[in-house]
Structure 1
Amino acid sequence: MSQLSLRSLGRAEVVRDGQPVKWEAESSRDLVFFLLAHPEGRTREDIIQGLWQEDPSARSSNRFRVALHRARAALGAPGRIAEVYGVYRLSDEVLRASDVFRLYAALAEAEHAGGDARLQALSQALAEYGGDFLPHLQAEWVQTAREEHLSAYTRACLERSVLHCEHLQCELAVQDLVAALRRDPFLGENHHQKLMTCLSVVEGKYAATEHYRRFLRFLREDLNDAPMPETVDLAGRIKRGERICHHGQPEVRLTHNCPFTADGRCPGPYAELLKLV
């Protein structure tokens, strides 16, 4: 059977036997990625409403049948989009061929690993995240999946920054904190405090103070808010040149938002498929 590779993070691409798939219509391509965003599957009615915002009718049902036929042909086998009791889903083989699956498989491994193995698993997860989920689309179902995957990415960044901090790899800790906050500046204020602390060690008090000023501007212009007293106090201590970094904090494990499971944790009900990686 032909080999598949699905990329959806940072770009949308399906490769079959080393060649990019040429879609007969965008509807068939979008159907594949819609099912990737809903690995548990969706009914015909859910797909019609989710993809095209249409109610079930003879016209929309025909549109679905055509898109399904073309999507199956593009993937190389009818069974790669299976239908069981009226629910359509990508086969396990197709799901395992996706970057989204590899991201969450690596996060699942990190949750159950320790030491260097945990660091390697987190690094593998971050390497899989090439950018926003389906950046060319702005549909509601895309936005929902995009936020879930972004949350997984930023939490992996934060978790790896803790490991770097524990090993006194301050520059690497700063890189991960910056990556997380660049992707999602609305993360908790405590993460901005941590970055200020790390910057004061790696680049000095002026770099840490500059981040504080940018954070103040973000709070004022985007949120019409002010920093917590703890953040103001921290900035003052940094400006005075105090040494405020404390290593050896207890290990922190963050909860991941896994869209493949009902409770948001990996591997959960997806465990059997994850074992096959």
Structure 2
Amino acid sequence: MQTLGRLQVSLGGQRLRLPRMRSGEILVWLALHGPSTREQLVNALWDGSAERRHGEHFRVAARQLRCALAAHPAVDFNPLPFEQGVYQLSARLTVALDCTLARWALRSGDPADLRRALEAYGGPFLPQQEAEWVQARRAEVAGDTLAAALALGEWAQTSDPELALWAYGRAAALEPLHEGAQRGLLRAHRALGEHAAAARAYAHYAQRLRDEVGDEPGFSLAQV
């Protein structure tokens, strides 16, 4: 399931069209948090609102999600059972989420996993949704992805400067004022003999630092 940059759900290799964003949000919530009561879901999706209309909106969104999943030819079971007061995704559904790749990669420490997580990051988590739980997860995913980029850059800086340049570039794109990302980016440029590019990157970083926080870099290009 693609949750970074936009929500896109595929089932059996076939893209699934969800009738409304709330249906997708329910799907992502359950995939991340597991079985949940109606109250937990409404509280998460509508930031604790107790308004009756939100309960009605939830019921419609949940029913439409179930119908959308059940319409797939391979689904001959109830994909969203409601049992003993909780909603959950069927155990027969295997859900893969791109938003968990960076944290998994950081735990494994495998450069291939780190690279896969960076390649999967197509933008913020569920950018069209602004519920509190979405914003919190968005910040976590961005932080994990930044850490994965820095870890890959550090691993590659001596053995593969081109990969280091790509990784530190991803880190700098996520957090333009991050000094570690900028230092790594400059080191990679210089390791590749790209001294003019390093000078341009340093000048761009210094100018952005002045414009946004009124500060100067804590290091010179010669100190990288």
Bin the TM-score by the shorter chain: 0.7 to 0.9
In structure 2, what is the equivalent of residue 99 of structure 1? Answer: 98
Letter paired with 2:170: A
Secondary structure at the aligned position of 2:33 is classed as coil
Residue type matched to 1:33 in 2?
V
CA spacing shift, 1:210–1:59, aligned 2, 3 Å = closer
Is contact 1:173–1:198 with CA below 8 Å preserved after alignment? yes
What is the SS of the residue equivalent to 1:143? Answer: helix
Query: Which of 177, 183, 199 does residue 189 from structure 2 map onto?
Result: 199
In structure 1, which of residues 172, 175, 186 is the aligned counterpart of residue 166 of structure 2?
Answer: 175
Deviation at 1:153, TM superposition (A): 1.9
Q: How many residues align?
A: 219
User: In the alignment, is the contact (CA less than 8 A) between 1:45 and 1:55 conserved in 2?
Assistant: no
Unmatched 5+ residue regions in structure 1?
Answer: 1-5, 112-117, 239-243, 245-277
3-state DSSP class of the match of 1:20? Answer: strand
Once the two structures are TM-superposed, the CA of residue 226 in structure 1 deviates from its matched residue by 2.6
Give the distance between the partners of 2:146 and 2:185, measured in 1 at CA: 14
| 2:41 aligned with 1:47 | yes
Equivalent residue runs for 1:18-33 within 5 Å: 18-33=13-28
Paired with 1:91 and 1:129, the residues of 2 have a C-alpha distance of 27
How far 1:61 moved relative to its partner?
2.6
Equivalent of residue 126 in structure 1, options 107, 118, 136: 118
Q: Stretches of 4+ moved more than 6 A in 1? A: none
What amino acid is the match of 1:98?
L
Alignment of 1:1-277 (within 5 A): 6-36=1-31, 38-40=32-34, 42-53=36-47, 55-76=49-70, 80-81=79-80, 86=85, 88-90=87-89, 94=93, 96-108=95-107, 110-111=108-109, 118-167=110-159, 169-187=160-178, 189-228=179-218, 231-232=219-220, 235=221, 237=222
Identity of matched residues, %: 28
Are the aligned partners of 1:95 and 1:101 in contact in 2 as well (CA < 8 Å)? no
The structure-2 alpha-carbon separation of the partners of 1:41 and 1:223, relative to structure 1 and needing over 3 Å to count, comes to: farther
Structure 2: how far apart are the matches of 1:93 and 1:132?
29
Q: TM-score, normalised on structure 1?
A: 0.66
Please say if residues 9 and 129 of structure 1, whose CA atoms lie closer than 8 Å, have aligned partners that are also in contact: yes
What amino acid sits opposite 2:61 in the alignment?
A
**Distance (whole Å) between structure 2 residues aligned to residue 131 and residue 64 of structure 1:** 27
How far has the Cα of 1:85 moved from its partner?
Answer: 6.3
Higher mean C-alpha deviation, range 45-54 or range 141-150: 45-54
Q: Displacement of 1:177 after TM fit?
A: 0.6
46-55 or 83-92: which moved more? 83-92
TM-score normalized by the length of structure 2: 0.78
CA distance in 2, matches of 1:190, 1:58: 49
The offset of 1:192, in angstroms, is 1.6
Shift of 1:79: 5.4
Structure 1 counterpart of 2:144, one-letter code: A
Task: Please say which of residues 145-154 and 17-26 is displaced more in the overlay.
Answer: 17-26
Task: Give the residue type in structure 1 aligned to 2:7.
Answer: A
Cα distance in 1 for residues equivalent to 2:24 and 2:140? 21
Q: CA deviation at 1:147?
A: 2.0
C-alpha RMSD over aligned residues: 3.0
